[in-house]
Structure 1
């Protein structure tokens, strides 16, 4: 019996070793095939550089950079290349709100006026209270007016602007670095009852009724976190989100990151844009890379399943809880499963099929981050090149679909 058991044990051990070799070989083939398909789309020449990732609730299953972060100097775009990620940043504002609530600094159903040093009302509904929850679900009635587009972006000081385009379109311009104002001053100008830029800053819908995506509302939520906690939004999120998740390469300001790793940004493959930052940085200004962002999405998947590390389970339930119904929308996107505007948690969006995440676009930036709660698999893409036509759209979602094609295979 002992001899037979030893033989059986030896057979099992040999079989397991062979299986591990086969799995490793298969895994390499899967990654090679995934890389080849994405590279084929990259060679269409629509994007100068980008990075992608697939993650689950434990770790990254795949992450890779493609193309160039600096075309002129042929510097590769890698999984550690840094750039801002546009409105995917808003999901961090939601996490920060729930953390501030955990700390007893605010409550989601507080009226925003409780925290503001200036008077703010929707002039069409002067008696209606605007709450923090309404900011987080884009139902506050605060809109993005012409001054949001023209006064938000500011040039990074001390950069070479030769051959660089200094406006993104007719409305979005890069203002001189020495004319920047504070977040508080911007919000007061745009939202205060007698603010000099308070023109069409509020919609005709009563607060709490209709979903209307608002960058200004997002920035106001971050400002309220500052008022409630006595810390800058940048410092608060560093302490409670970035550092605990070991997102060590990430930050909200150029001085917070290793600028030598920051990607050049492009309006199209041939048009270089300047380095810029934003007064309203919480709505889209997180600087990160695919490696750090993968850690964040893994945390979101864990949090959705009650196993998160930076928020308590009850806070994550509140963060992800769908807040809206059909009557909260004048139109509802039921075509693109990766539009976050079908429903809303706390600055985290839902597609109509149930995917959870956010998209983003800024000058020289395209980004998308979603996970599927049915299988706990998530995908991320960040690009340093804009696109605005069908060919670009097809390439963008072509890469996205390739990631979906391989994500389950990588898990085996």
Structure 2
């Protein structure tokens, strides 16, 4: 930090007066202006709370929290508030897969059957092999059937559930811990012909490698393969090769791995809290972190893109970021939303049509986005502890991203 003690004190006073916390390399009118503009969006009350960060390859340029991590207790949302980040988690799975390849444990072009204790075959194309590359590019032909939502999410034990939402909608339920299966059992039940949740929607009517179709199940299958190839649980592997090297001390995949006192309440809407939950398929959307810690990871991705990363070699990052698909792989390629990852993909690293690299996410009480612009080497993060579903919420969400995009 370049701030003097006096500047830090003044910044603290200003932050308290505005009921949010702002940090950056240098205090400036530009940052103050961004504070005010973001606070103005918060005052629209579409979200209970949210955090933002802007980073470059050297670290944080700006980070801030607005609103509340817990409305009932008056707890403010700061850059160190911890929450689920939903499918932004997939970027960590991609790094883990490439790291396992660098360690000589697997190869992207291996058939997945080489690493699985059960058979996964698209019954519509039984002679076509599914490869790890197919998994990480969402071209595996593996689908997410209705049981993905109804059997996969579980309430954190020990909560007082009075007033907390546990039935999200007619498709998604937060189940009790007693019914929780292992990752392996869940994958078998969903993807093998004799599985109890296997049905005609478990696989698509496309050959593996042919069509991009976003798949949470394929993501978790990739993480499961990392486990079998390396002999380590996925959370242990990512802690050793990603979290510890980057000093992401407030991050993890399970509640016991983080400081639960800093965990934000999640909200269906600003007045309806959702029970805290985890997932059997935690690699595809269960990462828990703060905008401050996630900024460390995004800075590393920017470094890696420019050949200066720490957790993968230059060649490894080239593999991670290399766009794998073309127009023929898409039925409905997203050429409209600059914040969508559904235009192209590396190893789970999504590309928008404008060339931004990153991912979006959404889960009960969570809306998230993390992208960087490879031309300017600046990345932006937005974590919201509230479902964003209506037009007002979406306008506010993308309004925040537009403001962050103008900050240089």
TM-score range, shorter chain: over 0.9
Q: Which deviates more from structure 2 when the two are superposed, residues 163-172 or residues 91-100?
A: 163-172
Q: Which runs of 4+ in 1 moved over 6 A?
A: none
- After superposition, where does 1:132-143 map in structure 2 within 5 Å? 132-143=132-143
Q: C-alpha offsets along residues 312-370 of structure 1, whole Å, 9 cap, x if unaligned? A: 00010000000000000011111101110000000010000101000000000000000
| Partner residue in 2 for 1:223 | 224
Q: CA–CA distance in 2 between the matches of 1:323 and 1:289?
A: 30
Equivalence map 1:203-214=2 (5 Å): 203-214=204-215
- Counting only pairs closer than 5 Å after superposition, residues 250-399 of structure 1 correspond to structure 2 as 250-399=251-400
Q: Which residue does the alignment assign to 2:149?
A: 149
Q: For 1:373 and 1:367, locate their aligned partners in 2 and report how far apart those are by CA, in whole Å.
A: 20
TM-score where L is the length of structure 1: 0.92
2-structure distance, mates of 1:337, 1:399: 13
Q: Distance in 2 between matches of 1:371 and 1:275?
A: 29
Q: Deviations over 1:254-273 (max 9, x none)?
A: 00001000000000011110
Q: Deviations over 1:188-222 (max 9, x none)?
A: 00111321211120000000000000000000000
Q: Which runs of 5+ in 2 are unaligned?
A: 1-23
Q: Is the partner of 1:267 in helix, strand or coil? A: strand
**TM-score where L is the length of structure 2:** 0.93
Instruction: Indicate conservation of the 8 Å contact 2:49/2:385, yes or no.
Output: yes
Which residues of 2 match residues 104-143 of structure 1 at below 5 A? 104-143=104-143
Residues in 2 aligned to 1:196 and 1:284: alpha-carbon distance in whole angstroms: 23
Matches of 1:158 and 1:377, distance apart in 2: 41
Larger radius of gyration: 1
C-alpha separation between the residues in 2 aligned to 1:341 and 1:38? 27
Task: Tell me which residue corresponds to 1:174.
Answer: 174
Paired residue total: 384
Higher share of residues assigned helix: 1
- Provide structure 1 residue ranges, at least 5 long, that are not aligned to the other structure: 1-23
Structure 1: distance between partners of 2:254 and 2:89: 13
Q: Distance in 2 between matches of 1:327 and 1:271?
A: 43
**1:97-152 C-alpha deviation (Å, 9 max, x unpaired):** 00000001000000001111111110000000000000000000000001111111
Aligned equivalents of 1:155 and 1:237: distance in 2? 24
Aligned residue number for residue 100 of structure 1:
100
Q: SS state of the match for residue 60, structure 1?
A: strand
| Aligned counterparts of 2:297 and 2:320: Cα–Cα separation in 1 | 15
- Measured in 2, the distance between the counterparts of 1:242 and 1:311 equals 13
